[in-house]
Amino acid sequence: MVGRDQSQGVLRIGPNHLSYSDPQAIKYIYGHGTKCAKDTGYEIQKGTHYHLADVVDKPDHARKRKILASAYAIKNLEEWEYKVADKVERLIRQFDKRCTAPLPAGQIVPNPEDANVNYRMWTNFFTVEAIADIGLSLKLGFLDRGDDMCEAVNPDGTKFTAPFRESLYTVNEKTSLIVHTYDWFKTLDKLSSYTYGIYRRGTKAAKAWDGIHLALTLKRLEAYRRGEKNDDFFQALMEDKSGQPNNLELGEIDAEINIMLNAGSTTTAIAIANVMFHLLKNPKVLAQLREEIDRAMDPDETIASYENVKNLPYLRACLDESLRIYSPTTQNLGRVTPAEGMQIIDQFIPGGVSVSMSAHVVHQDPSIFPEPRKYIPERWLGEEGKKLQPYFLAFSAGARGCIGRNISYLEQTVLLASLLHRYEFALPHPNFEVTRQETMNYHVGPLPLKVWRRDIPGMEVSEKV
């Protein structure tokens, strides 16, 4: 049921769910100090144990967030940088192999066979491998092999292999189709294995996905039990900084690894594909960004150092403008009002009502972002840009906002700077459009690109990584 509520800017998107478009509602629904909690849409998705993203109880959330806070802290980013740099290097090896001759001056459409790099796929391998290394110190080999077949294990211990992306994205697609039925979700989820199409495929994929994160959890646990003290999220899950064990049950550890591999790779991969697409559609922006990056990197530098590129204002503006136009998470992130009800802007909302705001709605509001469909990174620069931050909802806001945004910026910044410094890219043709599908995330389809080495003074084109 979709209908207009009494006040402007509120849409009833379910029998008990109000969706807001007035940005004033952000602080009431998501801000620090909100009286709302995550709504039942999260609770029903939980497995044997809650993880950081689906736990509803506020003290339990605070406990989990405290355990992981040090791992995600901004001061630790430098510790993860070498892991990200390693993945950039592996990606570059693959792109180097696929480089074609430069596009002749004046030619804008490459030969069809030259658009031989599926940027979306390769950079998704990059984000999965980066988080598997940062989180578990595991090397999955996707970037070296060019596929994402992953070890997996059934609860009875039998082993199998399954494709990482297809398994995860199929589960998410199925979930997105039935999760908003709330009370019916569990029943529909069970029944879906007896049906067909995406529902049946989703059930099969859920087994594969559960097998993948469990296998990776057990592998890392084995290393931990052997006494390996790696610097990664897993270590933070097992012990605090002084070595005191956190004594988490295996189910909780597995749940945290599940969300880390999922949230930690999917959204950043979408963001990385989107920003490249926007840049190639906006050559003047791309040229300006390159100038900024080239000034920050030595001509013969292959992998950007985070220190040198993390504060480049135009680079950050290009990333944020892309995250604004196509936020990787556009779905309404439901929160529930407290039992006694609460005020939202100038209206009293009774207790137990789901309330939310889609990032897409505020990001497309022309009174905040004039010409909202246009890719204009300049809007994020200087003092005027700072004023827009309260309306930037790509990572949500408040205590339940994204814990991984700094890691995401580390990955996006180092990768994009390194690639734009080394290569030229071209779309298959100037009118090329990517396909998009909204599931639990706003996914991007294949992005086939022609890639060739740049010829800039001081850069050794034959140099190998």
Among 67, 92, 303, 407, binds ligand HEM (CB under 6 A): 407
Q: How far is CA 52 from CA 36, 111, 211, 323, 402, in A?
A: 17, 47, 20, 23, 10
Among 18, 29, 53, 427, binds ligand HEM (CB under 6 A): 53
- Whole-number minimum distance, CB 55 to ligand HEM, in Å? 7
Burial readout 240-273 (b: 16 or more C-beta within 10 A, e: otherwise)? eeeeeeeebeeebbbbbbbbbbbbbbbbbbbbbb
Q: Residue 424: which of 287, 272, 226 has the closest Cα?
A: 287
Does 71 contact ligand HEM by CB under 6 A?
no
- Whole-number minimum distance, CB 403 to ligand HEM, in Å? 5
The answer to whether 402 is annotated as binding is yes
Among 168, 212, 259, 318, binds ligand HEM (CB under 6 A): 259
Burial readout 29-42 (b: 16 or more C-beta within 10 A, e: otherwise)? bbeeebbbbbbbbb
Site for ligand HEM in 274-293 (CB under 6 A): none
- Whole-number minimum distance, CB 102 to ligand HEM, in Å? 32
Q: How far is CA 34 from CA 325, 335, 357, 389, 404, in A?
A: 26, 10, 14, 19, 21
Beta strands 117-118 and 37-38, pairing class: unpaired
Does 400 contact ligand HEM by CB under 6 A?
yes
Among 52, 152, 153, 342, binds ligand HEM (CB under 6 A): 52
- Whole-number minimum distance, CB 450 to ligand HEM, in Å? 26
Query: In the complex, which residue's CB is closest to ligand HEM?
Result: 404
Q: Which stretch, 117-125, 206-214, 215-223, 325-333, contacts ligand HEM (CB under 6 A)?
A: 325-333
Among 271, 344, 415, 447, binds ligand HEM (CB under 6 A): 271
- Whole-number minimum distance, CB 180 to ligand HEM, in Å? 14
Phi then psi for residue 344, to 5 deg, are -125, 115
Q: Which stretch, 89-97, 113-121, 294-302, 395-403, contacts ligand HEM (CB under 6 A)?
A: 395-403
Residue 170's Cβ-side half-sphere holds a number of Cα atoms within 13 Å equal to 20
Of 124 and 396, the one with the shorter C-beta distance to ligand HEM is: 396
Helix (H), strand (E) at residue 422: helix 405-422
Among 110, 202, 211, 264, binds ligand HEM (CB under 6 A): 264
Q: Which stretch, 77-85, 86-94, 292-300, 391-399, contacts ligand HEM (CB under 6 A)?
A: 391-399
Of 260 and 361, the one with the shorter C-beta distance to ligand HEM is: 260
Spell out the long-range contacts of 280-289 with Cβ–Cβ below 8 A and sequence spacing 24 or more: 280/425, 280/426, 280/427, 280/449, 281/375, 281/427, 282/375, 285/318, 285/375, 285/377, 286/420, 288/314, 289/314, 289/315, 289/318, 289/377, 289/420
Query: For residue 366, is it left (φ>0), alpha (ψ between -120 and 50) or beta?
Result: alpha
Contact 348, 18 (CB under 8 A): no
Of 124 and 329, the one with the shorter C-beta distance to ligand HEM is: 329
At 44, list the tokens: 């029903």
Does 268 contact ligand HEM by CB under 6 A?
yes
Taking the C-alpha atoms of residue 413 and residue 182, their distance in angstroms, rounded to an integer, is: 38
Does 267 contact ligand HEM by CB under 6 A?
yes
Of 128 and 153, the one with the shorter C-beta distance to ligand HEM is: 128
Site for ligand HEM in 333-362 (CB under 6 A): 333
Does 394 contact ligand HEM by CB under 6 A?
yes
Contact 209, 171 (CB under 8 A): yes
How many amino acids of this chain bind ligand HEM (CB under 6 A)?
24
DSSP secondary structure letter of residue 398? G
Among 408, 413, 418, 439, binds ligand HEM (CB under 6 A): 408
Annotated binding site for heme: 402
Which residues contact ligand HEM by CB under 6 A? 52-53, 65, 131, 259-260, 263-264, 267-268, 271, 328-329, 333, 394-396, 400, 402-405, 407-408
